[in-house]
Chains A and B, each alone.
Chain A
Amino acid sequence: MRNLHLATAAAAAALWAGAAMAGNAPGVTDTQITIGNTNPYSGPASSYGTIGKSIGACWNWVNDTGGINGRKIKWISLDDGYSPPKTKEQVRKLVEKEKVAFTFQTLGTPTNSAVHKYMNKKKVPHLFVATGATKWGQPKKFPWTMGWQPNYQTVGAIFGNYILQNHPNGKVAVMYQNDDYGKDYVIGMKRAMGDAYAKQVVKVETYEVTDPTIDSQIVSLSGSGADVFVNISIPKFAAQAIKKMHAIGWKPAHLLNDVAASISSTYKPAGVEKAKGIISVDFYKDPNDPEWKDDPETIAWRAWMDKYYPGGDKDNKMNAYGYAVCHTMIEVLKNAGDDLSRENIMKQAASLHKVHIPMMLPGMFADTSPTDFYPIEQMQMTRFDGTRSIRFGPLISAETE
């Protein structure tokens, strides 16, 4: 019986090796690796398009500096307008027609959901998708798909725990964006707070991305008498909320999600004085925080922006995000060496051991294993003091399902 097991293991190993040596993935030659991507470059979600653009700029830089192990990157990034059927079409085009080795940072939850099964059926690496949903880290069910950023539920849980510890008797008001992103935060909060959620949360409001303003929601929330406000919104609405709260004189403890925790795209437009005291979480550096003025990585990032993405906005934190995720990919490809089979690329992506990624907060790293498909799981809480976001408390590691 034991021998049989051994034999099976040996056969499996041989198979693995066979697969690994079966040759490189489509799209890989001695001089080039073709990588596919979709991003919303047009349509109502086009503000996210800068992530795809900054990654494109990153590959231009990689190619100018000699490529990876002698291979240049061919980056094919297509517009899906944030429409799932179009994503399906574009991803099929990338895989079947453009013959990309793998896709990287395809953006959006509904859009990636549309190709989730397809990529796994086709056994094409679906790497570091640009969404914080929890479903991207299921190595057993979906061995070819991997997320990157800390998932939204984790952040929600961090807020939930913070409330339990610091405002055990506080009355909580919640506002979230009425889509998967907003709802995931609330799920995380509920998970962390348990019964306390129903007891402490006195008012919940939602908004649509197409809402002109959220003034009405803020008025309702302030009327609930809450002294803690969990604000799950994108920068535009976060800034509106900060302004409106100031105007009506509502001053709860303000917990703002990481998506909007940016000095130049949220606090400055709203007025830094009004944003003072906001508590948030983060995992990468806000390049406009004076804290990182002399930080070598941020200086390098600025120089790179100037040279490779001059049209890009240095006030936009997403361009630092794109830079960081691109460096994660570079690491994986470097580790893969000359074995650029799809199996090996996936294997390398699943064996990042405490890798430091530029623009991440100090002490943080990307870490994966064959059973852990969540590369970045640490975050740190911050408090905005009027000029910079002061980090406080330990690095919080997410509990991963």
Chain B
Amino acid sequence: MDQFLQQTLSGLANGAIYASLALAVVMIYQAIDHFNFAQGEMAMFSTFIAWQLIAWGAPYWVAFLVCLAISFIGGMAIERIIFAPIHDAPALSHVVVFIALTLIFNAMAGFTWEFTIKEFPSPFPAELPFKTTLIGPHELGIVGITLIMLGLIYVFFRFTPVGLAMRAAAASPDSALLVGISVKKMLGLGWGLAAAIGAVAGMMIAPVVFLEPNMMLGILLYGFAGAVVGGLTSPGGAVVGGFLMGVLENLAGAYVIGSELKLTFALVVIVTVLLFRPAGLFGRVVVQRV
């Protein structure tokens, strides 16, 4: 039983990692109505920036905030410089550009910081106030941060004028323009926010998996899976999806099929969930008008 609990909790900790990235995925999806396949590499690159600042002597929270600012501006810049000129290009051409960005960020990080794994500090205390070997302080911290981010995003999209405008701009750009929303600005803002959320995710993930240029390769898959299984339009769904992926993956690996086919099993589950809920667990089904 202790084993089972431990597997579940360590699955939750992994799930928090996926959930935090899934949030960034949903954020950009809300803003541009599309997946950003480069999200993982952008988050990795942001984390390296924070790592560099810390290595230069900056205190953790200074590095954290500066990194958020840089990521926000960087995200907006990517939208302005790279995507604005090809705004009218077909969606799959955008996918190719996402792939290109993935390659570029990955190679730049490898060139600048090399591939040796780097230790990234955790902002949370080293010891928990109560004694347990079931979950570590950082893991608990990630769960907390993920839930806080979720709350902020929820409030942002539900109650702030900017958030509402952003959703409108993504869902129906033409109508949004008619009611005076600057779709251009919203796009840039969405990119900036997604990059910043990705940076937070990266800085939370790095202390667990260690920082290196290929850190996000595996996580991105589960992050996407979490977001899709949860339903792309729902930040809450994405978080649930992320946690679900983490727990499911651990329990399946430990009790069902062994670690050798863990990945395959997780993916079978994704497809099965999608078969029964084609728009994800919490996603809105889009009704097409003829």
Query: Please, which residues of chain B bring their CB within 8 A of the CB of A178?
Result: 259-260
Q: Is B210 at the interface (CB under 8 A from chain A)?
A: yes
Q: B219 interface residue, CB < 8 Å from A?
A: yes
Q: With A42-B103, A217-B259, A240-B209 known to touch, is A264 a contact of B6 (CB < 8 Å)?
A: no
Flag whether A331 is at the interface (Cβ < 8 A).
no
Given contacts A211-B218, A223-B3, A235-B117, contact A216 B249 (CB under 8 A): yes
With both chains docked as a complex, state the minimum distance between the C-beta of A48 and any C-beta of chain B, in angstroms.
Answer: 8
Q: Quote the shortest CB–CB distance from A45 to chain B (angstroms).
A: 9
Q: CA–CA, A205 to B253, complex, Å? A: 9
**Contact assessment for A312 and B209 in the assembled complex, using a CB-CB cutoff below 8 Å:** no
With contact pairs A210-B217, A265-B117 given, residues A240 and B210 touching in the complex (Cβ less than 8 Å): yes
Is residue A248 within 8 Å, beta carbon to beta carbon, of the partner chain?
yes
A220 contacts which of B7, B17, B119 (Cβ < 8 Å)? B7
- Over the window 92-111 of chain B, the binary record of Cβ atoms lying under 8 Å from chain A Cβ atoms (1 yes, 0 no) is 00000000000100110011
Q: Is the CB of B260 within 8 A of A216?
A: no
- Chain B 214-257 interface residues, beta-carbon cutoff 8 Å to A: 214, 217-219, 221-222, 249-250, 253-254
B11, B118, B136: the one contacting A269 at CB < 8 Å is B118
Complex alpha-carbon distance, A315 and B262, angstroms: 33
- List, in ascending order, chain B residues with CB within 8 A of A268's CB: 119
Query: Would you give the shortest CB distance from A180 to chain B, in whole angstroms?
Result: 14
How does the 8 Å CB contact mask read for B102-128 relative to A, with 1 for contact and 0 for none? 010011001100111111000000000
B103 CB to nearest chain A CB (Å): 7
Residues of A close to B210: CB separation below 8 A? 236, 239-240, 269
Can you list, as one digit per residue, whether each of A184-211 has a CB less than 8 Å from chain B (1) or not (0)?
Answer: 0000000000000000000001111111
CB distance from A267 to the nearest CB of B (A): 11
Cα A399 to Cα B44 in complex, Å, equals 44
- Hey, which chain B residues are within 8 Å of A239, CB to CB? 117, 210
A168 CB-CB contact with B under 8 Å: no
Min CB gap A77→B, angstroms: 16
A213 interface contact, C-beta 8 A: yes
**Contact in complex: A50, B254 (CB < 8 Å):** no
Verify A217–B253 contact, CB threshold 8 A: yes
Q: What residues on A are CB-neighbors of B3 within 8 Å? A: 219-220, 223
Q: Which residue of chain A has its CB nearest to the CB of B17? A: A212
Number of inter-chain CB pairs below 8 Å: 113
| B75 proximal to A (CB < 8 A) | no
Which residues of the other chain, A, contact B106 by a CB distance below 8 angstroms?
A: 46
- Do A216 and B7 touch (CB < 8 A)? yes
Interface size for chain A: under 10, 10 to 19, 20 to 34, or 35 or more residues?
35 or more
Closest Cβ neighbor of A317 among chain B residues: B116
Q: How far is the CA of A312 from the CA of B107 in the complex (A)?
A: 15
**Taking the complex as formed, is A363 at the interface, i.e. its CB lies under 8 A from any CB of chain B?**
no
Inter-chain contact A236/B259, CB cutoff 8 Å: no
Q: Which of B114, B217, B263 contacts A316 (CB 8 A)?
A: B114
- Shortest beta-carbon distance, A54 to chain B, in Å? 11
Does A50 lie within 8 Å of B133, measured CB to CB? no
Residues of B within 8 A of A266 (CB): 117
Looking at the assembled complex, report how far the CB atom of A33 sits from the nearest CB atom of chain B, in whole angstroms. 29
B66 near A: Cβ within 8 Å?
no
Interface size on B, as a range, is: 35 or more
> Among A219, A240, A266, A316, which residue has the most Cβ atoms of chain B within 10 A?
A219
Tell me the complex Cα distance, A269–B18, Å: 22
Which B residues are CB-close (under 8 A) to A248?
A: 6, 133
Asked if A289 is at the interface (CB within 8 A of a chain B CB), the reply is no
Decide: B7 and A42 in contact? CB cutoff 8 A: no
Complex CA gap A247/B126 in Å reads 11
- Tell me which residues across on chain A come within 8 A of B262, comparing CB atoms: 208, 211
Taken together as a complex, chains A and B put the C-alpha atoms of A205 and B219 apart, in Å, by: 20
- Distance in angstroms from A212 CB to nearest chain B CB is 5
- Given A236-B209, A269-B210, CB of A216 within 8 Å of CB of B254: yes
Decide if A215 touches B116 in the complex (CB within 8 Å): no
Task: Check A8 for interface membership: any CB of B closer than 8 A.
Answer: no
Closest residue of chain A to B247 (Cβ to Cβ) is A216
- Specify which chain A residues have a CB less than 8 angstroms from the CB of B212 in the assembled complex: 47, 236
CA distance A361 to B120 in the complex (A): 32
- Alpha-carbon separation in the docked complex, A386 to B258 (Å): 34
A53 and chain B: residue at smallest CB distance: B114
A44 at the interface (CB under 8 A from B): yes
Q: Does B13 contact A (CB under 8 A)?
A: yes
* Most chain B C-beta atoms within 10 Å of own C-beta, residue among A50, A212, A235: A212
Is B30 part of the binding interface, using a Cβ–Cβ cutoff of 8 Å? Answer: no
* Closest-CB distance, B174 to chain A (whole angstroms): 40
| B250–A216 CB distance below 8 A | yes
Please state if B222 and A249 are interface contacts (CB–CB under 8 Å). no
B6 nearest CB across to chain A (Å): 5
Measured between beta carbons, the chain A residues less than 8 angstroms from B218 are 208-212
Q: Is A385 an interface residue (CB 8 A)?
A: no
- Closest Cβ–Cβ distance, residue B111 to chain A (whole Å): 8
> B213 to chain A: which residues have CB within 8 Å?
46-47
The answer to the question of B10 belonging to the interface, with a C-beta cut-off of 8 Å to chain A, is yes
- Determine which of A47, A205, A217, A249 lies in contact with B214 in the assembled complex, contact meaning CB atoms within 8 Å: A47
A313 contacts B6, C-beta separation under 8 Å: no
In the bound complex, CA of A265 to CA of B117 (Å): 6
A173 CB, min distance to chain B CBs, angstroms: 13
Q: Which of B107, B110, B209 contacts A213 (CB 8 A)?
A: B209
**Interface, chain B (partner A; CB < 8 A):** 3, 6-7, 10-11, 13-14, 17-18, 103, 106-107, 110-111, 114-119, 133, 136, 205, 208-210, 212-214, 217-219, 221-222, 249-250, 253-254, 258-260, 262-263
Provide 8 A-B residue pairs closer than 8 Å at the C-beta atoms, listed in order of the A residue: A44-B217, A205-B258, A206-B259, A212-B17, A212-B218, A216-B14, A216-B250, A235-B116
Which 9 A-B residue pairings sit nearest by Cβ, starting from the closest? A47-B115, A210-B218, A313-B114, A216-B250, A269-B119, A223-B3, A215-B10, A212-B219, A212-B218
Instruction: Please give 19 more A-B residue pairs, beta carbons under 8 A apart, in addition to A210-B263, A215-B13.
Output: A46-B110, A46-B213, A50-B115, A206-B258, A206-B259, A208-B262, A212-B209, A216-B10, A219-B250, A236-B117, A239-B210, A240-B208, A248-B133, A249-B133, A265-B117, A269-B117, A311-B111, A313-B115, A315-B116
- Chain A contacts to B: CB under 8 angstroms: 42, 44, 46-47, 49-50, 178, 205-213, 215-217, 219-220, 223, 235-236, 239-240, 247-249, 264-266, 268-269, 311-313, 315-316
